Structure 1
Amino acid sequence: MDFSWPLVLAGALTGAAVGLTGMGGGALMTPLLVMIFGVDPTAAVGSDLLASVAMKPVGAAVHHRAGTVRWDFVRWLLPTAVPAGFAGAFAMHLLGRGDELTSRLKYVIGGALLLAVLGLAARALLDRRRAALPAAAQDTGTQRVRPVPTLLIGLVGGLIVGLTSVGAGTLIIVLLMLTHPRLQARELVGTDLVQAVPLVAAAAAGHLVAGDTSLSLAGVLLLGAIPGIYLGARVSAKAPNRLLRGVLAILLVGSGLALWNVPTSVIVAASAGLAVLGVATALVRGGRRRADPVPVPTEGAEAASAAP
Structure 2
Amino acid sequence: MDLWVAIAGFGVGIVVGLTGMGGGALMTPLLVLVFGVAPLSAVSSDLVASAIMKPFGGAVHMRRGTVDKRLVLWLCAGSIPAAFGGVFIAKAVDAEGMSQVIQSLLGGALLLAASGLVLKAWFGLRDQARAAADPSLREVVEGTLKPVSVRIIPTVLVGAVGGLVVGVTSVGSGSLIVIALMALYPALRPQQLVGTDLVQAVPLVGAAALAHLLFGDFQLALTVALVIGAVPGVLLGAAVSSRAPGGLIRAALTVVLTASGLKLLGADTVVVGYATGALVLLIPAVWVLARRHHGLPLRTAQIPAARAPEVPAEQVHAA
Q: Do the aligned residues in 2 keep the contact of 1:114 with 1:252 (CA within 8 Å)?
A: no
TM-score normalised over the length of structure 1? 0.77
Residue 199 (str. 1) matches residue 204 (str. 2):
yes
User: What is the DSSP-based 3-state SS (H/G/I as helix, E as strand, rest coil) of the residue aligned with 1:136?
Assistant: coil
Q: Which amino acid aligns with 2:17?
A: G
Deviations 1:9-67 (A, max 9, x none): 11111112222333221121011111111222222122111101111111211222222
1:179 Cα deviation from its structure 2 partner: 2.0
Q: Which amino acid aligns with 2:208?
A: A
**Greater Cα offset, 58-67 or 25-34:** 58-67
Q: How many aligned residue pairs are there?
A: 284
Residue 183 (str. 1) matches residue 188 (str. 2):
yes
Partner residue of 2:152?
Answer: 147
User: What is the DSSP-based 3-state SS (H/G/I as helix, E as strand, rest coil) of the residue aligned with 2:139?
Assistant: helix
Q: 5+ unaligned residues in a row in structure 1: which ranges?
A: 295-308
Partner residue of 1:58?
Answer: 56
From 252, 256, 260, the equivalent of 2:264 is 256
From 65, 72, 87, the equivalent of 1:67 is 65
1:263 Cα deviation from its structure 2 partner: 6.9
Partner residue of 2:213?
Answer: 208
Partner residue of 1:297?
Answer: none
Q: Do the aligned residues in 2 keep the contact of 1:41 with 1:106 (CA within 8 Å)?
A: no
Partner residue of 2:94?
Answer: 96
Separation in structure 1 between the aligned mates of residue 194 and residue 274 of structure 2, nearest angstrom: 32
Q: Which amino acid aligns with 1:208?
A: L
User: What is the DSSP-based 3-state SS (H/G/I as helix, E as strand, rest coil) of the residue aligned with 1:144?
Assistant: coil
Separation in structure 2 between the aligned mates of residue 217 and residue 279 of structure 1, nearest angstrom: 37
From 86, 103, 112, the equivalent of 2:106 is 112
User: What is the DSSP-based 3-state SS (H/G/I as helix, E as strand, rest coil) of the residue aligned with 1:193?
Assistant: helix
Deviations 1:242-285 (A, max 9, x none): 5544443453244224xx3x578976887688678746633531
Question: RMSD over aligned Cα, in angstroms?
Answer: 3.5
Partner residue of 1:306?
Answer: none
Deviations 1:147-184 (A, max 9, x none): 11111111111111222222222321221232233334
Q: Which amino acid aligns with 1:65?
A: R
Separation in structure 2 between the aligned mates of residue 229 and residue 272 of structure 1, nearest angstrom: 22
Sort the Cα spacing of 1:221 and 1:76 in 2 relative to 1 into closer, same or farther, 3 A: same
Deviations 1:213-234 (A, max 9, x none): 2232111111111122223334
Q: Do the aligned residues in 1 keep the contact of 2:107 with 2:262 (CA within 8 Å)?
A: no
Separation in structure 1 between the aligned mates of residue 236 and residue 285 of structure 2, nearest angstrom: 31
Separation in structure 1 between the aligned mates of residue 293 and residue 34 of structure 2, nearest angstrom: 41
User: What is the DSSP-based 3-state SS (H/G/I as helix, E as strand, rest coil) of the residue aligned with 2:178?
Assistant: helix
Separation in structure 2 between the aligned mates of residue 135 and residue 109 of structure 1, nearest angstrom: 41
**Greater Cα offset, 226-235 or 6-15:** 226-235
User: What is the DSSP-based 3-state SS (H/G/I as helix, E as strand, rest coil) of the residue aligned with 2:149?
Assistant: coil
Q: Do the aligned residues in 1 keep the contact of 2:58 with 2:198 (CA within 8 Å)?
A: yes
Q: Do the aligned residues in 2 keep the contact of 1:254 with 1:271 (CA within 8 Å)?
A: no
Q: Do the aligned residues in 1 keep the contact of 2:9 with 2:226 (CA within 8 Å)?
A: yes
**Greater Cα offset, 234-243 or 211-220:** 234-243
Q: Which amino acid aligns with 1:284?
A: L
Correspondences of 1:167-182 after superposition (within 5 Å): 167-182=172-187
Q: Which amino acid aligns with 2:264?
A: G
**Greater Cα offset, 25-34 or 123-132:** 123-132
Separation in structure 2 between the aligned mates of residue 238 and residue 188 of structure 1, nearest angstrom: 13
Partner residue of 1:222?
Answer: 227
**Greater Cα offset, 113-122 or 277-286:** 277-286
**Greater Cα offset, 241-250 or 209-218:** 241-250
User: What is the DSSP-based 3-state SS (H/G/I as helix, E as strand, rest coil) of the residue aligned with 2:48?
Assistant: helix
